Structure 1
Amino acid sequence: MTGPVIDLGELRHEPEPDTRPRRPRANGRPLRCALVLLFVLATLVAAGPVSRRAVVPLPARLGANVVVTDDLFLVIDPITPQTPQRRLAAYRLPGGEPVWQVPLPAEGRYWGVTPLAGMLLVTGYEVGSEGRGALTVVLDRATGAYRWQQPGSPVELADGNILFQPGGEDEPGSLRVVDTCCGTVRWQLTTAPGEINYGTAGNAVDRVLLRNADGSFEIRDAATGRVLTRARLRVGGGAYETVQVVDGLLFTVGGTPAMVTAYGLDQLDQRWSTTADGSLYATGCDPVVCLQTRSGRLRAVDPATGRELWSSERWGWVWPVAGRLVATTLSSAGPGAEQLVVLDPPTGRVLADLGRWELAGSDLGGPMIGLRRHPDGGLLVAELDVRAGTVRMLDVLPDANGECQASPGRLLCRRVDGSYGLWRLPD
């Protein structure tokens, strides 16, 4: 893919000598030239210096965790011998003015900040006398004041409350739902490690799928904890077994011979079953379901029947965007920029080649911003329009070095000197 073409005009040879007779020189020409020069100088002085690309410098040390949420830039300082306790600082965007700074009431490595209902949910791994575990500390968004805390990682529910799950797949613990205002527990139960899945309404969770110690499955209402349905499913064991919820269906992979089976979430009724053919797990590729195999082959199946629609060994990661699929090529897999293509979900046909890009982080539904190292230093920034299959070059940021996060109209990147900068993207 080629970049934008800049017209430098035509390069000509030295002009031929002008043999035509010259016009007589007017006596007032020097005066007119002087007046024009004075006018140009006055205009430049009035206009001030030529404007350069505006960047807002934001303080963050190496090793800090940074997050942009709406109009706040949040920095979680790293632990050092001089600062043994982590601190969270908030800066107002777009100007970068300090808003507040607070200590975090636990040791460990914090790794996530979630905004919700005027609060910030700061989640990380707590290190204590009883070992390690996930902990979420809830702060007031406006002031940074401590509100409450709960063990586990937060999941937003459709009714506005919060579900806390154990911190890792191998970490048993209590599954609990709390109210948003004060962290008061509404219901809870003890779960086995790695056996929790969720059903969603839009982007929020409204059902919880649990696998019990006796092998049975049950679906609970996320708001009340009430059991909606319970059933025994023939997962079948085998060398590899997967249980997951994808696009409103429960998928199991396992058994001898290995099968992929889909169940409805309302009654846990079997919808279809097909030979796994090496499939390890399912992913959402709306309007199809993608199955990834051990050999790296990608299979797309009809979610209603399980019928294979197409398969390919060319693609690595695949995810849905705007009714299309974005795929990386296996040949470009690795750190840094990867080759991106747009696929037609029902057929697997390549609709567009977007080129080789590294994607900036963004929220669900946010802009897809591609980044590429510029030969002269800095980053080339482009907007990738998946629906149209086009790439629009936006800017070259000479001072940007990576670790970028995109939000509507803005791009946050680490700078060459280790600090962060916020750039406004052109319309």
Structure 2
Amino acid sequence: MTGPVIDLGDLRHQPEPDTLPRPPRASGRPLRCALVLLFVLVTLVAAGPLPRRAVQTLPAQVGSEALVAGDLFLVIDPITTQTGQRRLAAFRLPGGEPAWQTPLPADGQSWWVTPLDGTLLATGHRSNPDGESTVTVALDRATGAYRWQQPGSPVLLADGNLLLQSTDAGGSGTMRAVDPCCGTVRWQLSTPPADVTYRAVDGLVDRVVFSSANGPTEVRDALTGTVLARTDLRTPGGGAYASVQVVDDLLLTVGGVPATVTAYGLDRLDRRWSTIAEGSLYSTECTPVICLQTRSGGVRAIDLDAGRELWSSERWGWVWPYADRLLATTLSSAGPGAEELVVLDPPTGRVLAELGRWELASFRVDGTVVGLRRHPNGGLLIAELDVHAGTARLLDVLPDATGECQSSPGRLLCRRFDGSYGLWQLPD
């Protein structure tokens, strides 16, 4: 299965000085020499003409959405007065030759595509006064031929099937597991108005949690639909919790007065621990710790086993785990576009490295991230951010790129000034 591509949208910051990210907090002559060389390289780039790397131009209309799926460039065209509906077109890479095109159902306002082996799952979402609707269409990857269609948005299950959930205007809906080859329903159930949370292991879902702040919480086996546990998790005084998060084998609730984080065993909903966390709004997974986002915008980290607070900081806007580290944005830079990135040590919150201001184009399994930002002379500056080492390595300057970048192995797809897309080969 081809992994999803992360697209963080246009860069909205004004051109910034071409400053370098700070290295990890270490000393030594080799590190200083490397920084000097990198500084010289960036200075030369800023002072002289921009390099002209070979680029493959790929067609796209203004308002279209695009991604790379292996050897295919996929474009979802916008609705026009001539067409009345959207169209998915595929082009073969690396040459960009047209492969196939197919119309998409008219009830989708926004679309995204998920590659799955020999299938492309095109999911459309529409908001209207009567509520929201989502539909998923399965297409043959080689020809674009229609295979099947089901309501709902898909997630991949641990047994290879797909789980799709759809809701009506009142919040009730249907959840069904289907075979990705032909859309055959394996099981289905009616769902009450509730928040839905998944537990995924290596990106594959095996548990589904239905939770309501004013009702019972229910845990089901995602492979069979079987109920594993069902109980009321509201506080004895009737106070409602604000959020539910699944981390490893725990279900966490945040809420009440005073704000309290409570952990339950996922499959039995047996209470494990509880701790006061004033000002906390919700929890996020920061393996091997749990991060609590506070009302003031700061972060608290607590121990996964006992709920003990390990550290807290009002400096970080967003924190998420990656490559056995935590990536964090500074609160002062939080928002759309490029942000100041730092690497944290999960158990202590200690700053291990300051990477500088970047927008993220992708995450890689080797612990590196592709970062980009505006170059003072135009175009985008591209760098490889190594989270393990806490370093940034300049890769290239793309003079014709404007943003909407997506990275795949060895390649970077970005929108160009004329509305088309460019596919650049990234250097090793």
Rate the CA distance shift 1:180–1:254 in 2: closer, same or farther, 3 A.
Answer: same
Q: Which runs of 5+ in 2 are unaligned?
A: 1-18, 21-37, 45-50
Work out whether residues 243 and 250 of structure 1, in 8 Å CA contact, stay in contact via their aligned partners in 2.
yes
Aligned residue-pair number: 386
Of structures 1 and 2, the one scoring higher in RCO (CA 8 A, sep 6+) is 2
3-state SS, counterpart of residue 336 of structure 2: coil
- CA distance in 2 between partners of 1:241 and 1:60 (Å): 42
The 5 Å alignment of 1:296-335 reads 296-335=297-336
3-state SS, counterpart of residue 332 of structure 2: helix
Tell me the residue number matched to 1:143. 143
List per-residue Cα deviations over 1:200-222 (Å, max 9, x = no partner). 23210111222479833332221
Tell me the residue number matched to 2:191. 191
The 5 Å alignment of 1:258-337 reads 258-337=259-338
Work out whether residues 302 and 308 of structure 2, in 8 Å CA contact, stay in contact via their aligned partners in 1.
yes
3-state SS, counterpart of residue 5 of structure 1: helix
- CA distance in 2 between partners of 1:169 and 1:313 (Å): 39
3-state SS, counterpart of residue 40 of structure 2: coil
Query: Partner amino acid for 1:175?
Result: M
List per-residue Cα deviations over 1:14-69 (Å, max 9, x = no partner). xxxxxxxxxxxxxxxxxxxxxxxxxxxxxxxxxxxxx9511000111111111222
3-state SS, counterpart of residue 417 of structure 1: coil
Q: Which moved more, 1:303-312 or 1:100-109?
A: 100-109
Rate the CA distance shift 1:4–1:234 in 2: closer, same or farther, 3 A.
Answer: same
Is 1:4–2:5 an aligned residue pair?
no
1:145, CA displacement in angstroms?
A: 0.4
Tell me the residue number matched to 2:93. 93
Q: Which moved more, 1:333-342 or 1:228-237?
A: 228-237
3-state SS, counterpart of residue 241 of structure 1: strand
- CA distance in 1 between partners of 2:98 and 2:364 (Å): 24
Work out whether residues 86 and 107 of structure 1, in 8 Å CA contact, stay in contact via their aligned partners in 2.
no
Q: Which moved more, 1:144-153 or 1:188-197?
A: 188-197
1:140, CA displacement in angstroms?
A: 0.7
1:8, CA displacement in angstroms?
A: 11
- CA distance in 2 between partners of 1:143 and 1:273 (Å): 54
- CA distance in 2 between partners of 1:364 and 1:165 (Å): 29
Q: Which runs of 5+ in 1 are unaligned?
A: 10-50
Work out whether residues 110 and 122 of structure 1, in 8 Å CA contact, stay in contact via their aligned partners in 2.
no
Tell me the residue number matched to 2:57. 57
Is 1:221–2:221 an aligned residue pair?
yes
1:132, CA displacement in angstroms?
A: 4.2
- CA distance in 1 between partners of 2:255 and 2:267 (Å): 22
1:101, CA displacement in angstroms?
A: 0.5
List per-residue Cα deviations over 1:376-405 (Å, max 9, x = no partner). 111110000000001100001111111100
List per-residue Cα deviations over 1:170-213 (Å, max 9, x = no partner). 74211111122211212111112332222223210111222479
Work out whether residues 131 and 169 of structure 2, in 8 Å CA contact, stay in contact via their aligned partners in 1.
no
Rate the CA distance shift 1:408–1:367 in 2: closer, same or farther, 3 A.
Answer: farther
3-state SS, counterpart of residue 39 of structure 2: coil
- CA distance in 2 between partners of 1:390 and 1:117 (Å): 34
Q: What RMSD in Å do the two structures reach over aligned CA positions?
A: 2.6
Tell me the residue number matched to 1:45. none
Work out whether residues 378 and 399 of structure 2, in 8 Å CA contact, stay in contact via their aligned partners in 1.
yes
Tell me the residue number matched to 1:31. none
Is 1:124–2:124 an aligned residue pair?
yes
3-state SS, counterpart of residue 205 of structure 1: strand
Query: Partner amino acid for 2:107?
Result: E
Work out whether residues 52 and 399 of structure 2, in 8 Å CA contact, stay in contact via their aligned partners in 1.
no
Tell me the residue number matched to 2:48. none
Rate the CA distance shift 1:130–1:270 in 2: closer, same or farther, 3 A.
Answer: closer
If the length of structure 1 is used for normalisation, what is the TM-score?
0.84
The 5 Å alignment of 1:20-419 reads 52-126=52-126, 132-166=132-166, 171-211=171-211, 215-235=215-235, 238=239, 241-361=242-362, 367-419=368-420
Query: Partner amino acid for 2:195?
Result: E
- CA distance in 1 between partners of 2:84 and 2:43 (Å): 57
- CA distance in 2 between partners of 1:365 and 1:192 (Å): 41
- CA distance in 1 between partners of 2:122 and 2:245 (Å): 26
Work out whether residues 211 and 244 of structure 2, in 8 Å CA contact, stay in contact via their aligned partners in 1.
no
1:115, CA displacement in angstroms?
A: 1.2
If the length of structure 2 is used for normalisation, what is the TM-score?
0.84
Query: Partner amino acid for 1:88?
Result: L
Rate the CA distance shift 1:298–1:170 in 2: closer, same or farther, 3 A.
Answer: farther
Work out whether residues 367 and 408 of structure 1, in 8 Å CA contact, stay in contact via their aligned partners in 2.
no
Structure with higher Rg: it is 1
1:325, CA displacement in angstroms?
A: 0.6
Q: Which moved more, 1:179-188 or 1:360-369?
A: 360-369
